[in-house]
Structure formats: C-alpha cells, structure tokens
C-alpha cells in the first residue's frame, strides 16, 4: 500500500481543485479559485491556529469545500453533500486515515451558511467561518456575481450583496469577526 506525505496529499488536492476551477465547464469562472478558495484556505489556517484546530484537516476541507459544484454545476445546489462524498473518494485514493476522512467530510458538509447543520468540531467552525470571511474579504467577487453573473440592476445588486454580507457575518465565530470587522463595516457603509 502506497503512503503519501501530508505535502503530497495537499499539493495533489490543490492541483486537482485549481485545475477544475480553470476549466471552461466551471460555471463560477476562474475567480472562484483566485478570489474565493485561496482566501478560504488562508483564513481557515489562520483560525485553526487561533482555535487550536487541526491545520491539515482545515486546509484539505477548505480546498474541497466547493469542489462538487465547480466540477459539476448540477451538484451545486447540494454541493456540501456531494462534496463530502467527493472528499471521501479522493482521500481514500491517498490511503488517508478513515478518522481524518470523517473530519474532512464533516467540515465540507457543515460549511454552508444557508443550510443549518450543527458544527461540532473546531475544524468545522474554522472552515465555515473562513468561507464567510472570504466573501467579506473579497467584496469585488460578490459584486461581480451580482452584476455580471446575475445581471442585477445597481440597487438590486447593492441589496443582494449587502444581504449576502450580513448572512456571512452572522456565520462567523467571534475570532473571525474580529479579523474582518473593519472590512465588513466599510462594505456596509459603501453599499448603503
């Protein structure tokens, strides 16, 4: 049985997800890599350090959290469920330990703000908060989604982004709120 180092596994998953993001079939555009996933990884690792969560689990889960919808848009509605299954398949191929696979799956499953699933572990809190922090940190990508992808009018787009930001804010753990508070307040001020 092959064994893989933590670096090999993370690098391979990073390549897998980045390649999926760059494909023309990715309905969200390449920005989901450059302006979302990269920031989810960054913030989840930052929070992991603060909350004493497992860095490896949160990094892998952050890379994979939106993967199912990126790979196949038909899965986007339930991407947390499909994503957890994808994570299991991918990690099993690396002979990743079952208990760690379970932790990654739980992070992917519970990351969505719109779906109320109890977050039990510090790793789950890190990934869900980092996902929301990335939205607050990268407001331009929300504006892009509102005006370009959804074709909204100026006022409707402002409202849509503002509501999305508020939902993201409410999803954050207190440590995450401290980090992005200034950006959040500035964004709401601009979008008034």
| Residue 134 beta carbon to Fe ion: minimum distance, rounded to whole angstroms | 7
Q: Which C-beta is closer to Fe ion: that of 53 or that of 145? A: 145
Minimum separation from the CB atom of position 124 to Fe ion (A): 13
If DSSP states are collapsed to H, E and C, what string results for the chain? CCCCCHHHHHHHHHHHHHHHHHCCCCCCCCHHHHHHHHHHHHHHHHHHHHHCCCHHHHHHHHHHCCHHHHHCHHHHHHHHHHHHHHHHHHHHHCCCCHHHHHHHHHHHHCCCCCCCCCCCCHHHHHHHHHHHHHHHHCHHHHHHHHHHHCCCCHHHHHHHHHHHHHHHHHHCCHHHHHHHHHHHHHHHHHCC
Measured from the CB atom, the residue of 91 and 138 that comes closer to Fe ion is 138
How far apart are CB 113 and Fe ion at their closest, in Å?
A: 9
Nearer to Fe ion, 66 or 86 (CB): 66
CB of 152 vs Fe ion, minimal distance in Å: 20
Selected binder of Fe ion within 131, 132, 133, 171 (CB under 5 A): 131
Site for Fe ion in 48-77 (CB under 5 A): 66
56 versus 66: smaller Cβ distance to Fe ion = 66
**Interface contacts to Fe ion, rule CB under 5 A:** 66, 131
């Amino acid at each position: 049985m092959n064994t893989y180092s933590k670096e090999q596994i993370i690098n391979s998953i990073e390549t897998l997800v980045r390649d999926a993001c760059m494909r023309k079939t990715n309905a969200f555009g390449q920005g989901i890599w450059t302006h979302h996933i990269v920031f989810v990884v960054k913030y989840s690792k930052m929070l992991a350090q603060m909350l004493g969560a497992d860095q490896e689990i949160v990094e892998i889960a952050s890379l994979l959290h939106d993967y199912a919808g990126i790979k196949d848009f038909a899965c986007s509605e339930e991407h947390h469920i499909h994503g957890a299954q994808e994570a299991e398949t991918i990690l099993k191929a690396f002979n990743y330990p079952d208990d760690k696979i379970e932790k990654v799956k739980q992070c992917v499953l519970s990351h969505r703000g719109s779906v109320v699933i109890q977050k039990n572990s510090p790793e789950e809190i890190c990934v869900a908060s980092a996902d929301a922090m990335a939205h607050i940190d990268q407001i331009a990508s929300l504006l892009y989604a509102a005006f370009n992808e959804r074709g909204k009018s100026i006022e409707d787009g402002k409202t849509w982004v503002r509501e999305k930001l508020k939902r993201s804010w409410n999803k954050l753990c207190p440590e995450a709120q401290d980090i992005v508070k200034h950006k959040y307040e500035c964004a709401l001020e601009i979008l008034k």
